Chains A and B, each alone.
Chain A
């Protein structure tokens, strides 16, 4: 017959603690799996309200200060496995030096579903659109909304609203 071991108080405490931890871990994993078929339906609208173009001498580069209009409804991205969204707007353009320049001009950390509808009508960029050289003058720039989904359990993912971008032309003269 099976040998019986009498457990001490500490052995029982140890068993209880790690048992509860493993149940919690398993259910967290199942929660992540349950969001596999979750459909997000973000509605994004980006606008450029105003642009101020400066020429910085010395090292020598172009710098643009943008006033953005952001209307992004990211509430449907949230599910019970989403801890936070890190949303950011990039300005993308091509120059002679680089095939793709991608500059983050605005970002926000969204921790709750209720706060996930970004309605900022006339917000100045958090980070100025600065080129490595003089490549901004009279160039085409695309504003794209992107967001990182930081899950409670699982891998961090990145999504973009490529179908809802805003394209504009940088002025040919400095402001």
Chain B
């Protein structure tokens, strides 16, 4: 199943697959950056607007509400590993054909570790 390597279409996914993705808890590098940027700007912009509104009303509680609202939004959207944050999965290389008879287990593990980087 192709989960859309950099595709722009919405990919349909079953609930089970969605649950597995959320449970795995990981985003790919592109998604991670995008998610962090969204959270960064959401909280800052809400903070600035909240600061201006709080200053006009002379109540810092309103500033807090804006920041807290943005935080709740970010927690819901940017924190879990939703499919939108997994649209550019890391492309692992295909494992090389190994001659299992004469290689030691430790050498094999080292080789596998090197490939994943």
Contacts and interface: CB of A to CB of B under 8 A. Distances in A.
B88 interface: no
Interface in B21-50: 25-29, 32, 35-36, 39-40, 43-44, 47, 50
Interface stretch (B12-20, B72-80, B92-100, B104-112): B72-80
Contacts of A52: none
A16 B79 contact: yes
Interface residues of A, number: 23
B67 A23 contact: yes
Contacts of A150: none
A6 B67 CA distance: 27
A79 B79 contact: no
A78 B57 CA distance: 12
B54 interface: yes
A30 B47 CA distance: 11
A152 B60 CA distance: 9
Contact of B43 (A4, A23, A28, A34): A23
Given A16-B71, A23-B47, A34 B55 contact: yes
B51 interface: yes
Given A13-B79, A19-B40, A20-B74, 9 more contacts: A4-B29, A7-B27, A9-B26, A12-B35, A16-B74, A16-B75, A16-B78, A34-B55, A80-B60
